[in-house]
Amino acid sequence: MSTFEINELRMYGVYDSGVANLERIVIRVLEQVNLGDFGLMLGIRGHDGTGIPIRDNLLWFGHATVQPNDWLFVYTGAGATTVTQVPNTTEQIISLHWARPATIFNGPEFLPILFRFDGVQLPPTPPSLPGPQSGGA
C-alpha cells in the first residue's frame, strides 16, 4: 500500500485527552483547501508507529473552504460549529464537533488518523426493472 503525505494540513495532536467538553484534535491549515476532501478516523497505535483504524469511527469534515493559518479544533463531544477570529491576526479558529457520547482518547494507544480522500467510487444507478405493479388485482 502506498502512502501519500498530507501537506495541506498539519495535525498537532490531541489536547486535554479524557476531559469531557475539552478533548480536541488541533490541526493547522497550511494551504487553501476544501475540508470536504478530508476526515479523521480513530485508531490504535501499532508497535511499529503506524495507526490501525478502528471500525466505524470516522468523522467527515463536510464542505467548507479554509485558508492558510486557520486552525481546526475538532472537539470529540457534541456542539455547534463556530468560527472565532484570533485577535490582532487574520487567523481563525474553526471549532468542529465529532459528537461522540464520551471522550475517546483515554489512553496513549488511541490516536487520531487524518486522511484525505484521493478517490471514491459509487455503484452505477440500477436500471429500472419491470415487475409487479402495486395496486389492485
Dist CA 77 CA 81 (whole Å)? 12
pLDDT digits (tens, 9 = 90+) for 105-126: 999 999 999 999 988 888 888 8
Q: Give residue 2's pLDDT.
A: 47
Nine cell digits for residue 89: 491576526
Q: What is the model's pLDDT at position 125?
A: 86
Give the pairing of strands 92-97 and 71-75.
parallel
Q: Which CATH class is domain 9-116?
A: mainly beta
Greater confidence, 135 or 128? 128
Which cell numbers in the block locate residue 24?
480536541
- Return the C-alpha cell found at 71: 486552525
Domain boundaries, the chain: 9-116
- Other Cβ atoms less than 10 A from the Cβ of 51: the count is 17
C-alpha cell at 27: 490541526
Task: Locate the DSSP E strands across 1-137.
Answer: 9-15, 24-29, 33-34, 38-45, 51-60, 65-66, 71-75, 82-85, 92-97, 110-116
Query: Is 1 a residue whose pLDDT tops 50?
Result: no
pLDDT tens digit string along 11-46? 999 999 999 999 999 999 999 999 999 999 999 999
Cα–Cα distance, 131 to 117 (Å, whole number): 38
136: pLDDT strictly greater than 70: no
